[in-house]
Amino acid sequence: MRLKKQKRHRKVVRFYTTCFGFREPFKVLCDGTFVHHLLLNHITPADTALTNLLSGKAKLFNTRCVHAELKSLGDSYSETFKASQNLITARCDHERRKSAASCIMEIVGESNPEHFFVATQDKELMKKFKEMPGVPVIFGLRNALFIEQPSASERKFVKFKEEEHLHMTDLEIKMLNSKRQDRLAARESFGANEGLGDQVLGSETVVKANIGRKRMAVNDKAQFKRKKAKGPNPLSCMKKKNHHNENLQTYKEGEAADTSGRSRSRKRKRSRKDKKLGDSDGIIL
């Protein structure tokens, strides 16, 4: 359950960051009822609890009117008054003191330019902020904190803004039409000047061509030049070699090499044992 709750809260924070430009550190504007709820349910420290809720660093704010309202409630809210003094005081421009709800409504305004998360336990204040686009509401249930889901009116507002960004405004359409008219006028003037220049140039070229043909008596047909033969091939001018004489010379050289090899070879000598055997055979006979 805890993981599902964290995923839902991350989706809500992502919706406000992408569609309304909320950035870290997130600003949380707390009223007296929310601070009192934190103390009763021992949700301390409050800044760490809100950073875990928003998945990003959070800064807690309060107003002078909220301080004055808590102080006027007496001793039962003395601890809440002391805790609220530790928060950062947001600037409220009104001179006289107002109620906490009206003061917070004035600071947030219609478009929430400071990108405040409003933390409250006041149900009437929560209903008012639900109708206003771009004002996320944080509230507590016992010892847990929750972010109010974006309302249907907020989602419609975001869709309408996206469609506006896609389409052009009336001023942009007028500027585009004026630029188109200027371009068309420039093209027409340029085309007219170019047509006159082409006519003049065409007549001049025709006259020059006729004069040149009469003077040079050039034929209409194109004449192609043939390539003339250059000097003879140097390989064809070389003397032929007599292959028959070369073969004879190589044959003679081979024979001379054979004869020299034979003369150099030594005669085989017979061993003395053969002679003795021959002599003995003659005596027996």
Q: Are strands 144-147 and 88-89 parallel, antiparallel or unpaired?
A: unpaired
Q: Which two structure tokens, joined as six digits, stand for 256?
A: 């001379």
Q: What is the structure's pLDDT at 115?
A: 93
Residue 187 vs residue 32, higher pLDDT: 32
The tens digit of pLDDT for each residue in 25-56 reads: 999 999 999 999 999 999 988 999 999 999 99
Q: Between 247 and 179, whose confidence is greater?
A: 179
- Average of per-residue pLDDT across 206-234: 60
Mean pLDDT, to the nearest integer, of 235-244?
Answer: 71
User: What's the pLDDT score for residue 188?
Assistant: 81
Alpha-carbon gap, residue 201 to 198, rounded angstroms: 5
Per-residue pLDDT tens digits for 71-105: 998 888 999 999 999 999 998 888 888 899 999 99
What's residue 218's pLDDT? Answer: 46
Per the model's pLDDT, the better-predicted residue between 86 and 229 turns out to be: 86
Quote the CA–CA distance of 98 and 96 in Å, as a whole number.
6
- Residue of 15, 90, 33 whose CA lies nearest to 60: 90
Of 138, 141, 148, the closest CA to residue 41 belongs to 141
SS3 97: coil
The pLDDT assigned to 40 comes to 92
Least confident range of 146-155, 224-233, 242-251? 242-251
Q: Are 54 and 117 in contact (CB under 8 A)?
A: yes
Written as six digits, the tokens of 59 are 């800064």
**What pLDDT sits at residue 282?**
46
